[in-house]
Amino acid sequence: MTSTTTPAARPSNPFTAPVWLIFYSLLALVALFVGIFIVLRPVVVLPRITLAPGFRLTDQTGAQLSNEDLRGSITLYTFTHTGCQDNCPQTSAVMAQVQARLDELNTGDIPVRLVTISIDPENDTPEQLAAYAAQLGADPAVWQFVTGSPVQIKSVVGGGFSVYYNTREDGIRFDPAFMLVDGAGLWRAEYRTAVPDVDIILRDINLLAEEAQHADGPSRLAYEAAHLFLCYPR
């Protein structure tokens, strides 16, 4: 007899075909699922940029408005000042367009709010903002205009939303921007242009509402997977 044993004498190896087969097919199944998810993108979400800044400012009626008051509603922020005339990005015109098309949204019972933050707090008093709001036809239940102290505004607009503005003798200059914040207070989208596509803003608001309405229970996993695999709208 040689030193190699006969098959019958060897101890049976538990790691033969069936277990490995199950392991590899499970792995393949997971890979297939991930592949299908990434290619077909059954769920599309907006990225979670970071926590939106907290604030407590004064609105055009003189009442306080804080970020906590906007919890539970989807909020679109923009920045301007009442002296913004010629040669100045007209962010309020875009907000007015969004306000006019709010009824096209299907956000269910999730309210949508618009907030314009004045970047010229030294000149923009609540009374002045109220006149500006009336001139734009702003619905006070939906669209609010807020102001505060220069330090507060700088920390919210510059520190929080990273939007640059400066107030010099030759006028106020600012980068036009629109920011979308969800009901949980997370900053979800930014549109750093004077002329964003309103259709895209409305689509994004719908996406946020859809996620807030459906992402609970097992379907939450699908939404988290969409975040993980960067299934962002194109």
Is residue 193 within the footprint of another protein (CB under 8 A)?
no
Least Cβ distance, residue 119 to another protein (angstroms): 12
User: At residue 115, what is the residue type?
Assistant: V
Which listed residue (44, 154, 198, 215) binds another protein by CB under 8 A? 154
Burial of 32 (C-beta count, 10 Å sphere; 0-12/13-18/19+): exposed
Shortest distance in whole angstroms from residue 10 CB to another protein? 8
Answer for the pair 228, 43: CB distance below 8 angstroms, yes or no: no
Measured CA to CA, the distance from residue 97 to residue 62 in angstroms comes to: 25
What is the number of other CB atoms lying within 10 angstroms of the CB of residue 45?
Answer: 24
Position 164 contacts another protein (CB under 8 A): yes
Q: Does 230 bind another protein (CB under 8 A)?
A: yes
Q: Give how far the C-alpha of residue 17 lies from the chain's centroid of Cα atoms, to the nearest Å.
A: 49
Cβ–Cβ < 8 Å for 195, 58: no
Rounded to whole angstroms, the Cα distance separating 192 from 103 reads 25
Choices 66-74, 86-94, 124-132, 154-162; region in contact with another protein by CB under 8 A: 154-162
Q: Does 90 bind another protein (CB under 8 A)?
A: no
Size of the site for another protein (CB under 8 A): 10
228 binds another protein (CB under 8 A): yes
Is 155 a residue that touches another protein (CB under 8 A)? yes
Stretch of 35-43, 115-123, 157-165, 179-187 contacting another protein, by CB under 8 A: 157-165
The Cα 213–Cα 20 span in angstroms is: 41
Stretch that binds another protein, among 61-69, 96-104, 150-158, 182-190 (CB under 8 A): 150-158
The nearest distance, CB 40 to another protein, in angstroms, is: 19
- Segment interacting with another protein (CB under 8 A) among 65-73, 116-124, 156-164, 213-221: 156-164
Does residue 162 bind another protein (CB under 8 A)? yes
Q: Which of residues 35-54 bind another protein (CB under 8 A)?
A: none
DSSP strand E in 60-156: where? 64-66, 74-80, 112-118, 143-147
Q: Is 4 in the site for another protein (CB under 8 A)?
A: yes
Confirm or reject binding of residue 159 to another protein (CB under 8 A).
Answer: yes
Quick check: 187 and 162 in contact, CB under 8 A?
Answer: no
Q: Residues 6 or more apart from 13 whose CB is under 8 A from it? A: none
Contact residues toward another protein (CB under 8 A) are 4, 154-155, 158-159, 162-164, 228, 230
